[in-house]
Amino acid sequence: MEWRASHILVKDRALAEDLLKRIKQGAQFESLAREYSTCPSKSSGGDLGWFGPGKMVAPFESAVKRLSPGSVGDVVQTQFGYHVIKCTGRKD
């Protein structure tokens, strides 16, 4: 199993929750990633590419596993900060 995901990484939970709310109201995920994310992936709209089991930290991976392609999940906290995650693909 492999997944493809994009994310927006921020240090503040309140900001992450606000960004998630804006996405659910129709804001462009990629635009918000470029503007707010602290991850180098922000230059590509938050795209992390394809990854398999064990390649991402556990809370991130388990959140992506629960998402269907095209959907955005709840805010996830890891040691890196707070993530807004969008699943963009899945391969069996």
Taking each helix axis from N to C terminus, what angle separates 13-24 and 29-36, rounded to the nearest 10 degrees?
160
The structure's pTM equals 0.96
Number of structural domains, the chain? 1
Report the pLDDT value the prediction gives residue 80, as an integer from 0 to 100. Answer: 98
Q: How far apart are CA 10 and CA 8, in angstroms?
A: 7
Report the pLDDT value the prediction gives residue 89, as an integer from 0 to 100. Answer: 98
Residue 77 is part of a domain; what is its CATH number? 3.10.50.40
Domain extent, residue 84, equals 2-91
pLDDT band at 19 (very low <50, low <70, confident <90, very high): very high
Whether 16 and 82 have beta carbons less than 8 Å apart is answered as yes
